[in-house]
Amino acid sequence: MTAKDPTHRQTLLAALAAKGAWDVIVIGGGATGLGVAVDAAARGYRTLLLEQHDYSKGTSSRSTKLVHGGVRYLKQGNVSLVLEALHERGLLMFNAPHLIRHQAFIVPSYGWWEGPFYGVGMKVYDKLAGKLGLEPSQRLSLRETRRRIPTLEPDGLRGGVIYYDGQFDDARLAVNLAQTVIDRGGTALNYMPVTALLKKGDAVSGVAARDEETGRVYEIPGRVVVNATGVFADGVIRMDDPTVPNLIAPSQGVHLIVGREFLPGHAAIMVPHTDDGRVLFAVPWHDKVVLGTTDTPIERADLEPRVLEEEIDFILKHSRRYLARGPERKDVLSMFAGIRPLFRTGDDKSTAELSRDHTLLVSPSGLVTITGGKWTTYRRMAQDTVDLAITVGGLKRRPCPTEQMPIHGWVEASDDADPLHAYGADAPGIRRLIAARPELGKRLHGALPYLRAEVVWGVRREMARTVEDVLARRTRALFLNARASVEMAKDTAALMAAELGRDEDWQAEQVARYKALAAGYLPSLKGGPI
């Protein structure tokens, strides 16, 4: 890789020195910020995205891994949100087929009324999806339900209802969106926290940002600045006006990862109601099972939120109600917490009742803030945001092209059996690396499918800067098997050091940092930490 490559950090940093103001500066490299930057760049605006850590470091890599219409929102009567989500689900499947797949969900019925009740609800769900719908839902007999999910608790089981939604890899989509920004002529930089808002009079006129690797501070002019920092949105708003009260009500959602022996086959489980009113999922993902989620109000957001003991107990308890052999703490391969940026309504509603829809705000200074929403509707959120930013920044109005715009890596079809299928059109590039250096074709660990070549590719083409970037988000090793990922850290650091020109001290520091991070992804067990 050379400094002329579009994703090389020096190339991206050089763009900051170019004269003239950016049309759109986006703060935040999660799903929302990346979507806004893709939209703005695709419309031809001079676009810059700045992320304080790594792309999707926060909430956007910690989802339930579903592209869905929101069955729960239908139950709440929020039909408009369901309609929008189902439409966007269909578009995303066309725009990123290398990352999105159909997933069957079974709602098990234990009461005589549940089968008919949920069956009707899913038919409504199908109808709302229209021409962008997947396979039709249907009621299942007891025999067929047990055939599809043999590990379901048999006591009292009467049958089930099957319906279909989408599944994806959230962090990989985030990386592909960052690449799409660059493909469309924009600039995206991770490890570039915004430290201040620049102003002319009372109007926001740009940002100051610090390169975490060099310490250099850049003053960057922009015609309009978009605050897309999710759970950290209040902090950016206070850079503009320190007197503004909190707008975000953070809520933590937790997931546990267990082995496929708890859910063999291809179908997922959806439990429509738990003790706290949430939906519980058990979903096959990367040859593991995702269990979750929770809804726990918290006082403040953290970049690396930790799972609470009571959240582990909650998920395990509810899993045992529906699985003949429920998982125990010793079965948890990894666990992770994400924080939802729910918008405060000014009343005393619980976080489970607060809006999951997105909210747009414009400060008197012209700062545009987008918050709320979810991965499935990121594209529509971005469209609404850029439409507003055009007005605020006085930009020449241009139509949004993203409804039918391929995302980086797009291929018409990919083989799920191919370990590199999630790279889509980039997979041949990784294979060329292996052909040139056969040792890169070896796995980093026997328990996970990731190849040494993926580390090199992550550095060269996907802007990975740390061991965590590679093991948590360029691959999903940390989220799938935390212990195994720690054993991969030393080799990963060595491969990265060769690409980045780092020394042995850097490697040792990276491994130590990663080991400390990964310790928080396993529940407490006898025998001590990792």
Domain at 459, CATH number: 1.10.8.870
77 in a structural domain: no
Task: For tokens 């092209």, name the residue.
Answer: 401
Tell whether 20 and 47 lie within a shared domain. Answer: yes
Tell whether 149 and 258 lie within a shared domain. Answer: yes
What pLDDT, on the 0 to 100 scale, is given for residue 74?
65
3 in a structural domain: no
- Dig out the tokens for 201 from the structure: 């009079």
Q: Residue range 180-205: average pLDDT?
A: 98
Q: Is 265 helix (H, G, I), strand (E, B) or coil?
A: coil
Q: Is the pLDDT of residue 3 over 60?
A: no
Q: With the C-alpha atoms ordered 299, 304, 309, 313, is the resulting torsion angle positive or negative?
A: positive
14 in a structural domain: yes
Total of domains in the chain? 3
The rounded distance, in Å, linking the Cα atoms of 229 and 418 is: 35
The amino acid present at 322, given as its one-letter code, is Y
- Please check whether residue 409 is in contact with residue 403, taking contact to mean a CB–CB distance below 8 angstroms: no
Q: Is the pLDDT of residue 233 over 50?
A: yes
Tell whether 51 and 199 lie within a shared domain. Answer: yes
What pLDDT, on the 0 to 100 scale, is given for residue 446?
97
Tell whether 94 and 112 lie within a shared domain. Answer: yes
Task: For tokens 């109600």, name the residue.
Answer: 321
Tell whether 44 and 96 lie within a shared domain. Answer: no
The rounded distance, in Å, linking the Cα atoms of 56 and 423 is: 17
Tell whether 293 and 323 lie within a shared domain. Answer: yes
Q: Residue range 405-411: average pLDDT?
A: 97
The rounded distance, in Å, linking the Cα atoms of 475 and 480 is: 10
Which range marks the domain in which residue 321 is found?
84-167+249-343
65 in a structural domain: no
Tell whether 141 and 46 lie within a shared domain. Answer: no
Tell whether 217 and 271 lie within a shared domain. Answer: no
Tell whether 428 and 280 lie within a shared domain. Answer: no
Average pLDDT score, the chain: 92
Tell whether 289 and 400 lie within a shared domain. Answer: no
Task: For tokens 């047990």, name the residue.
Answer: 146
Supply the pTM of this predicted model: 0.95
Q: Which is more confident, 113 or 470?
A: 470
Tell whether 127 and 258 lie within a shared domain. Answer: yes
Q: Residue range 462-478: average pLDDT?
A: 98
Q: Is the pLDDT of residue 418 over 70?
A: yes
- Dig out the tokens for 297 from the structure: 């109000």
DSSP H helices in 184-294: 233-240
Which of these three, 291, 318, 343, is where a domain ends?
343
416 in a structural domain: no
Q: Is the pLDDT of residue 352 over 50?
A: no
DSSP state of 201: T
| Cβ burial, residue 523 (10 Å; 0-12/13-18/19+) | middle
Tell whether 333 and 234 lie within a shared domain. Answer: no
483 in a structural domain: yes
415 in a structural domain: no
- Dig out the tokens for 86 from the structure: 């189902």
